[in-house]
Amino acid sequence: MIKLCLAAALSAASAQLPLPDGTFSLRWIHSIEKIEWREEWRVDANGLDLIEARIKGSGAGMEPADDAVLRDGWYVWQPHNPPLSKLILARSGVVADHRICVGGDCRPVSDYIGGTDAIVLEPCHAP
């Protein structure tokens, strides 16, 4: 089974999150615009692949892509970026924690590793 590894950037806190179908969603509220952002990710041998992004509006640093379509109140698009080896989530403390959703179960990142420092997401590699 594919797993997503979460690690606090400034402490030893870490967790492994099983991904039954290899995918997860990442959700958060933009710290300035207070607008929700959602991303759908796939984890595989190549890394973390962003397969869809959606936002409820636009504003400072969060403009939808040129090919985004408005669907049910969300601007939705499929980014065309190469897979990432890791993703670092900043945690400002100004807004609610990032949420990770697996199979419809959405939880704050702090439920998995606590703390307030940056979080590193990456595929777990078998020993």
pLDDT tens digits for range 40-63: 999 998 999 999 999 988 776 678
Counted domains in the chain? 1
Query: Of 95, 98, 127, 68, which is closest to residue 6 (Cα–Cα)?
Result: 98
Find the helix or strand (DSSP H, E) in which 21 lies. Answer: none
- Give the predicted TM-score (pTM) of the model: 0.90
Contact 75, 63 (CB under 8 A): no
Contact 66, 76 (CB under 8 A): no
Average pLDDT over residues 92-112: 85
| 40: containing domain | 2-123
Which residues, at least 6 apart from 15, have a Cβ–Cβ distance to it below 8 Å? 5, 6, 112, 113
Q: Which two tokens stand for residue 92?
A: 């400002």
